[in-house]
Structure 1
Amino acid sequence: MWSIGVVTYILLSGISPFQGSSDDETLRNIVAMEYEFDEECFGDTSAMAKDFIEKLLMKEPLDRMTAEECLLHPWIKPLTRKQAANRSRSSINMKNFKKFNARRKWKMSYNLVWACNRLNRLHLRCKSRAEDQELRQCESDQEDTDTKPASLIRRRLSSTS
């Protein structure tokens, strides 16, 4: 039921109720249940719609409306003509919702590009390490353990002169 409150908030305003500037801030807002009905986004939204959202965005699950209660809420099932008129004022804010969706898609695209770049860098590191291993297998780099140390020193001295 909490999710229905979040989705309703997003559909009516075009913004996320708990959105912060970072993932950590968003998580803190969710845990603290900190949200507000911004006048810019909720200026045309009825009090009944806000009431519907508030009764769903309750921290304690037992305090939230049930599905049956939601179906009987005046915003969903108006009892009078005035409630019906107020309900029609609270509709999906498509302009803000499109902005919200565009931001979400942009963030997903950014994360995808970041992940691809990261994988590419890791691949290049692994590839260069593999090439280094191949170079280390070169015959001249192998330690000669069969020859006595004195003859190895003579051989090295003669090769540098």
Structure 2
Amino acid sequence: MKSPNMETFKQQKVEDFYDIGEELGSGQFAMVKKCREKSTGLEYAAKFIKKRQSRASRRGVCREEIQREVSILRQLLHPNVITLHDVFENRTDVVLILELVSGGELFDFLAQKESLSEEEATSFIKQILEGVNYLHAKKIAHFDLKSTSR
């Protein structure tokens, strides 16, 4: 039984609204794929989070933790923090439709460059610190910080 303050996500099939494409990355309980919204043609990232099927199970993420992530993401609006576009749910997954950041990982960008100008380094550090400062001002700590070369 769902608690009264637990939000319901869209129960329609995400595939009815988005064309799902290539895998961008994966973790223990989630996979991220590129997707394209059918009605607009805009590209996003679809994060498929495996739901824990029972309290006793260790596989998947409990619904309350997913709800917390969605609740936090819905509060955020900053150019250096990804935005949440939509949320779907089926029997096994919750699918977050997120802003697609296509510049690639900053680490990979830096590894390919022979040198980085002071201006480039300053720009990257400034973007990261502005995003983290915004989160901290909202009393949000980020435990999986990623930076991209937008």
> Normalization by structure 1: what TM-score?
0.23
> Normalization by structure 2: what TM-score?
0.24
Q: Which is richer in strand?
A: 2
Query: Which structure has the larger Rg over C-alpha atoms?
Result: 1
Q: Which is richer in helix?
A: 1
Higher relative contact order (Cα pairs below 8 Å, separated by 6+ residues) = 1
